[in-house]
Amino acid sequence: MSESTELVKYERRGDVALLRFDDGKANVISPDSAAALNAGLDRAEKEARALVIAGRPGRFSAGFDLSVMKQGGDAVAKMLAGGAGVGLRLFGFPMPTVAAVTGHALAMGAVLLMSIDERIAARGDFKIGLNEAAIRMSLPRFALILARERLAPTHLIRATANAEIYSPEGAVDAGFVDRVVDPEQVVDAAVERAEELCELDTGSHAAIKSSLRAEELAALRDSVNVVR
């Protein structure tokens, strides 16, 4: 079963909800794409036992939409709140989540990876990381909260303040992803892992995740309220 919007295609593979994010370009996070992702998450919560989010071939997400950044003011605030809200929702999502990292994942794209339980990346000449400090931008507080929770301590400064960009294999060591497979296998591998996670008791999974991440979820909620 599948249903398409302009930006996100929703598919059901048994008990797994598969969201394919594809804007035809760099898969930027904009108010529209955040709304489309949230709509897919709404449906997944009602219908599925596990979730997979996949990008388009060669791109998982290049981060926030720079054309909106140039507008400044309320447009930027709305976009930041939308992206942060998707990250917050994924970090506390009440079912197992898996990312099929189909290519480059930079800036907010890498933040989304830190929000997702398990991440399987495509092998190739792809860049993964938080490049904000290299382009005269700061990392918002919600990104730093996730980085401190999900990245390897030995890579924390390298990946944030020093804006180190990783290959898929290097991103495993840093903590952005968990394993690497061939590009043609990445979506199926993520779905297969999600199918395994469907065997978990959903209530127990949600309760344990919520307890483990209680402090971070509270801090994330506060940070999202600040950028609204």
pLDDT in tens, 98-150: 999 999 999 999 999 999 999 999 999 999 999 999 998 899 999 999 999 99
Q: Count up the domains in the chain and report the number.
A: 1
Give all strands of the β-sheet with 128-129 in edge-to-edge order.
58-61, 103-106, 128-129, 165-166
Name the residue range of residue 157's domain: 2-227
Contacts of 7 (CB under 8 A, 6+ apart): 21, 22, 23, 32, 33, 36, 37
Residue 90 backbone dihedrals phi, psi, to 5 degrees: -65, -40
| Beta strands 8-13 and 16-21, pairing class | antiparallel
Q: Give pLDDT, residue 228.
A: 55
Tell me the three state secondary structure of residue 135.
Answer: helix
**Number of neighbours of residue 43 by Cβ within 10 angstroms:** 15
Percent of the chain beyond pLDDT 90?
A: 85
**Residue type present at position 224:** V
Average pLDDT of the chain to the nearest whole number: 94
**Residue type present at position 197:** L
Tell me the three state secondary structure of residue 59.
Answer: strand
Q: Is the pLDDT of residue 50 over 90?
A: yes
* pTM of the entire predicted model: 0.94
Reported as a pLDDT band with limits 50, 70 and 90, residue 5 is low
Rg for the chain, CA atoms, rounded: 16
